[in-house]
Chain A
Amino acid sequence: MNAVLALPAAASDDWWQRLFSFENYGELLALVHNSVIAGAVLGLVGGLVGVFVMQRDLAFAVHGISELSFAGAAAALLFGIDVVLGSVLGSVIAAVLIGVLGTRARDRNSIIGVLMPFGLGLGVLFLSLYPGRAANKFGLLTGQIVAVDDTRLSLLVLLSAVVVAGLLIIWRPLTFASIDPDVAAARGVPTRALSFTFMLLLGLAVALAVQVVGALLVLSLLITPAAAASRISASPVGVPLLSVLFAVTSAVGGILLALGGNVPISPYVTTVSFVIYLVCRLVGNARTRRGWTRRGALAAARS
Chain B
Amino acid sequence: MTEHAPLELRDASLSYGERTVWSDLDLTLHPGDFLTVLGPNGSGKTSLLRAVLGLQPLSGGTLSILGRPARRGSKDVGYIPQQRLIDPATPVRARDLVRMGIDGDRWGPGRHSHRERVDELLAAVGASSYADVPLGMLSGGEQQRVRIAQALGTRPGILLCDEPLLSLDLRHQHEVTALIHETRRATGTAVVFVTHEINPVLPWTDRVLYLAPAGHAIGTPDEVLTSANLTSLYGTPVEVLHSQGRVLIVGGDEHTHHVDEAGE
Q: Do they bind each other? A: yes
Interface residues on A, range: 35 or more
Cβ contacts under 8 Å, A293 to chain B: 132-133
Residue of B nearest to A238 (CB): B91
Nearest CB on B from A147, distance (A): 34
Classify the interface of chain B: helix, strand, loop or mixed.
Answer: loop
Docked pose: A180 CA to B151 CA in angstroms: 12
Q: Is A100 an interface residue (CB 8 A)?
A: no
Across the interface, which residues of B come within 8 angstroms of A230, CB to CB? 89-91
Question: A236 contacts B92, CB within 8 Å?
Answer: yes
Asked, given contacts A292-B137, A303-B142, whether A183 binds B108 with beta carbons under 8 Å apart, the answer is no
* Pairwise interchain contact A187-B134, C-beta atoms closer than 8 A: no
Q: Kindly state whether residue A288 has any CB partner on chain B within 8 Å.
A: yes
- Complex CA distance for A71 and B138, rounded to whole angstroms: 45
In the bound complex, how far is the Cα of B84 from the Cα of A229, in angstroms?
A: 25
- What residue in chain A is nearest B103 (Cβ atoms)? A172
Does A106 touch B at the CB level, under 8 Å? Answer: no
Q: Which of B81, B133, B138 contacts A186 (CB 8 A)?
A: B81
Q: For B99, B129, B147, which residue has the most chain A Cβ atoms within 10 angstroms?
A: B129
Query: B74 interface residue, CB < 8 Å from A?
Result: yes
| B74 x A188 contact (CB < 8 A) | yes
CB-based contact A171/B130 at 8 Å:
no
B69 interface residue per 8 A CB criterion: no
B72 interface residue, CB < 8 Å from A? Answer: yes
Given A186-B55, A188-B74, A189-B105, do A172 and B130 touch, yes or no (CB 8 Å)? no
Give Cα A171–Cα B89 distance, bound, in whole angstroms. 20
Q: Closest approach, in angstroms, between the C-beta of A223 and any C-beta of chain B? A: 12
Q: A169-B107, A188-B72, A233-B91 in contact; A183/B129 too (CB < 8 A)?
A: no
Residues of chain B with a CB closer than 8 A to A172's CB: 100, 103-110
Interface string of B147-177 (1 = CB under 8 A from A): 1001100000000100000000000000000
Contacts of A299 in B (CB 8 A): 129-130, 142
Of residues 76 through 109 on chain B, the ones whose CB sits less than 8 Å from some CB of chain A are 77, 79, 81-82, 84, 86, 89-93, 96-97, 99-101, 103-109
Say yes or no: is A89 at the interface (Cβ < 8 Å to chain B): no
Is there an interface contact between B130 and A183, defined as CB atoms closer than 8 Å? no
What 1/0 mask marks residues of chain A from 163 to 179 whose CB sits below 8 Å from any chain B CB?
Answer: 00000111111011001
Chain A window 93-135, contacts with chain B (Cβ cutoff 8 Å), 1 for yes, 0 for no? 0000000000000000000000000000000000000000000
Q: Mark B48-85, 1 if CB is under 8 A from A, else 0.
A: 00000111000000000000000111100101011010
B105 touches A188 (CB 8 A): yes
A180-226 contacts to B, CB under 8 A, are: 180, 182-189
Q: Indicate if the CB atoms of B133 and A189 lie closer than 8 Å.
A: no
Whether A179 contacts B100 by the Cβ 8 Å rule is yes
> What are the residues of chain B within 8 A of A171 when measuring CB–CB?
108-110
Rounded to whole Å, the gap between the CB of B128 and the closest CB of chain A is: 7
Q: Do residues B109 and A184 form an inter-chain contact, with CB atoms below 8 A?
A: no
Closest chain-B Cβ to A123's Cβ sits at a distance in Å of 32
Query: In the complex, are the beta carbons of B129 and A186 less than 8 A apart?
Result: no
* Cα-based distance from A172 to B99 in the complex (angstroms): 10
Q: A292-B134, A293-B132, A295-B130 are in contact. Are A187 and B105 (CB under 8 A)?
A: yes
Q: Is the CB of B91 within 8 A of A234?
A: yes
Task: Return chain B residues, CB-CB under 8 Å to A272.
Answer: none
B104 partner residues in chain A, CB cutoff 8 A:
172-173, 175-176, 180, 184, 187, 189
Q: List, in ascending order, chain A residues with CB within 8 A of B89's CB.
A: 54, 230
- What CA separation (Å) do A299 and B132 show in the bound complex? 13
For A185, what are the chain B residues with a Cβ–Cβ distance below 8 Å?
A: 55
Task: Let me know if A298 is at the binding interface, CB within 8 A.
Answer: yes
- In the complex the two chains form, is B97's CB within 8 Å of A179's CB? yes
Most buried by B among A54, A170, A172: A172
Chain A residues closer than 8 Å to B110, beta-carbon distance: 171-172
Write the chain B residue with the least CB distance to A226. Answer: B91
Q: A188-B73, A230-B91, A236-B96 given as contacts; is B79 within 8 A of A168 (CB)?
A: no
Q: A182-B84, A303-B139 are in contact. Are A295 and B129 (CB under 8 A)?
A: yes
A235 CB-CB contact with B under 8 Å: yes
Q: Which of B93, B97, B133 contacts A295 (CB 8 A)?
A: B133
B residues near A (Cβ < 8 Å) are 53-55, 71-74, 77, 79, 81-82, 84, 86, 89-93, 96-97, 99-101, 103-110, 128-130, 132-134, 137-139, 142, 147, 150-151, 160
5 pairs, CB–CB < 8 Å, chain A vs chain B: A168-B108, A188-B73, A229-B91, A295-B133, A303-B138
